[in-house]
Amino acid sequence: MPEGPSVRKFHHLVSPFVGQKVVKTGGSSKKLCPAAFQSLWLQATQVHGKKLFLRFDPDEEMEPLSSPQPVQGVWQEQAMDPELALGPSAQESSVGPSGSGEPVPSGSNGSSGLGGQNPLAGAQRWLEVRFGLFGSVWVNDFSRAKKANKRGDWRDPVPRLVLHFGGGGFLAFYSCRMSWSPPPVVDPTCDILSEQFHRGQALEALSQAQPVCCTLLDQRYFSGLGNIIKNEALYRAGIHPLSLGSLLSPPSLEALVDHVVTISTDWLRDKFQGKERHTQIYQKERCPSGHQVMKEMFGPPGGFQRFTWWCPQCQPKLSSEGPQNLLSS
C-alpha cells in the first residue's frame, strides 16, 4: 500500500476541494454506495500515516475547516510548505486532459452507505480511506492503462469512487477500501512525517528484544512507514533487518531513526517536485557498493510476512545473534 509520503500528497490533492458541494457521483464501489455522497459538502480532510480521512456534511451553512485546528480534541494536519502545494488541476502520476466527460460506472445498489449505515447519522460523517498496493487519487483526470493485463487487453483501471464538485473539478479514487467512521483519533507523535514525531518513543520501541525490521513496520510507533522506507533505512544505517533492537547500540538506533525521517521527508519533497524515486537496496540485485543483495520474507510468527532486501556485507548480522532469534517465513 502507498506509504506516508504518497498519502500526504493525496491529502494535498484533495484539500483544494474542501468547502465544495458534491454534485455528481460515480464509481464501482459496491460496499460504499457512491450515490450516498450526492449533495454532501466536503468540510475537512485529515491524514495520518497511511490513512486519509474526509469529512462530509449535508448542511451548506456549516463553515469548512479551512485552516489547521483541533477537531473535537483530535489533531488536524499541518499545511505543507506553500511552495510545494498543488492546485486542483494536478494529479498523482501525470498531467493530462480533463476526463470530466468520460462515462463513469455507477455505484447505485440501493444502499445509502456501508453495511446499511447512514453516513449522516450521528458522528458517522468521516470517510476513512485505506489505499491498496496501487492505490491513488487523481484530480480532473482518470488513470489510464500503461500496459496490457494478463488477458492481453488494455482496459483502463476503474475508479472505486468519483466525486464531481460544484466548482467544476472532480476526484477519482483508485484501489482503496473506504468506510464511514467516527471522528478520527489522530496522534502526530507516531507519524514519521509530522513535526511532532516523538523520537524518544520511537527509540524505546526499537530497543525491544525483537527484529528491528518488524518494529519499523509497527504503525503504533512509525505511522506511515512501509516496506520501501524500512529497507532503505536499514541499509543506510548498516543494520541487518533481523538484528534484535536490544542488542544494538544507542547510536545505531538513533542513526536508524534519522534515516527513517530523512528518507520520508526527501521522498515527499521529490513527489511534489515530480522527481522519480530512486532506491539503493529495495528491489535491487546489487547494492551501491556492488555486493550481491539477499531477498527473503520476514515477519513476526503468525503475522504478515514482507519481502526484505539487504546486503550481507554492508549489513552484517551481529555475532551474538543465533538462528533462534531469526524470524522468517
Q: Which of 2, 119, 184, 188 is the catalytic position?
A: 2
Catalytic residue status for 306: yes
φ, ψ of residue 265 to 5 degrees: the values are -70, -40
Cα dihedral 163→169→174→180 (10° resolution): -30
Catalytic residue status for 159: no
Q: Which grid cell is 53?
A: 480521512
How far CA 38 is from CA of 20, 23, 203, in Å, comes to 12, 6, 46
Task: Tell me which DSSP letter residue 138 carries.
Answer: E
Catalytic residue status for 3: yes
Give CA–CA dist 275/37, Å, rounded: 34
φ, ψ of residue 188 to 5 degrees: the values are -70, -15
CB 263 within 8 A of CB 229: yes
End-to-end CA distance of the chain: 21
Catalytic residue status for 2: yes
Q: Which of 9, 50, 236, 271 is the catalytic position?
A: 50
Q: Which of 21, 31, 306, 317 is the catalytic position?
A: 306
Q: Any idea which residues carry the catalytic annotation?
A: 2-3, 50, 306
